[in-house]
Amino acid sequence: MNRTLLIAFASMLAAAACTTVKPLPASTPAPAPAAQPAPVAKAAPAPSPEQVFQQKAQDLDANASVYFAFDRYNILADQTAAIRNHADLAIAYPNDHITIQGNCDERGSAEYNLALGQHRADAVKHALVAEGVSASRIDTVSFGKSKPRALCHAERCWKENRRADFVDAWQ
């Protein structure tokens, strides 16, 4: 039986040694893999006018304050760019409603600073109206010295707190 098994095994080896694999003919190219269609990316939905407005208003907010000299509410020449930028935004987006918040530094009484903050907010409103924004779309409010941006008791902080801020809202 071992001899029969050995002869069968030798025959299989001989058969395997004699078998050759034929290469493909040179004139026939190898079949290309089937082309898969490129995945189609879903396009993001177009932003709404409100979303575009919110992004533009947010971009302006980095420089969205008008700063004032001590005990003054007249708009300085170097502060007109922020007003012009907000006027352009309001004109481009008629649903924009602006609230201007007047602020003061900590010096002076609460009553005095509330009045001064209101004068500052009103001055910025008048400048926006002069740029072509309807006065009915602008509200003003004074926070006096109750919303400081900087908290130290020195000129470098006080000048940060003497300001009018823009708050844009879509209506």
Residue 48: which pLDDT band, with cuts at 50, 70 and 90?
Answer: confident
User: Across the chain, what does the average pLDDT equal?
Assistant: 83
Residue 61: which pLDDT band, with cuts at 50, 70 and 90?
Answer: low
**For residue 130, what are its two tokens?**
């002069």
pTM over 0.85: no
Condensed to tens digits (0 to 9), the pLDDT of residues 101-151 reads 999 999 999 999 999 999 999 999 999 999 999 999 999 999 999 999 999
What lies within 8 Å, CB to CB, of 127 at 6+ separation is 75, 80, 83
Give, to the nearest 10 degrees, the angle between helix 49-60 and helix 80-92.
Answer: 180
How is the chain split into domains, by residue range? 49-170
pLDDT at 100: 97
- How far apart CA 154 and CA 9 sit, in angstroms, is 101
pLDDT value at 77 more than 90? yes
pLDDT at 138: 97
pLDDT at 124: 98
- 36 vs 77, more confident: 77
DSSP state of 83: H
pLDDT value at 16 more than 80? no
- How far apart CA 81 and CA 166 sit, in angstroms, is 13
57 phi, psi to nearest 5 deg: -65, -40
CATH of region 49-170, choose from 3.30.470.20, 3.30.1330.60, 3.40.50.300, 3.90.870.10: 3.30.1330.60
- How far apart CA 137 and CA 94 sit, in angstroms, is 9
pLDDT value at 17 more than 60? no
pLDDT at 43: 72
CA angle 20, 22, 27 (to 5 degrees): 165
Residue 91: which pLDDT band, with cuts at 50, 70 and 90?
Answer: very high
DSSP state of 27: T
Buried/exposed 13-44: b ≥16 CB within 10 Å, e otherwise = eeeeeeeeeeeeeeeeeeeeeeeeeeeeeeee
Name residue, tokens 């902080």: 157
Query: Which residue type sits at 110?
Result: A
Residue 47: which pLDDT band, with cuts at 50, 70 and 90?
Answer: confident
Residue 49: which pLDDT band, with cuts at 50, 70 and 90?
Answer: confident
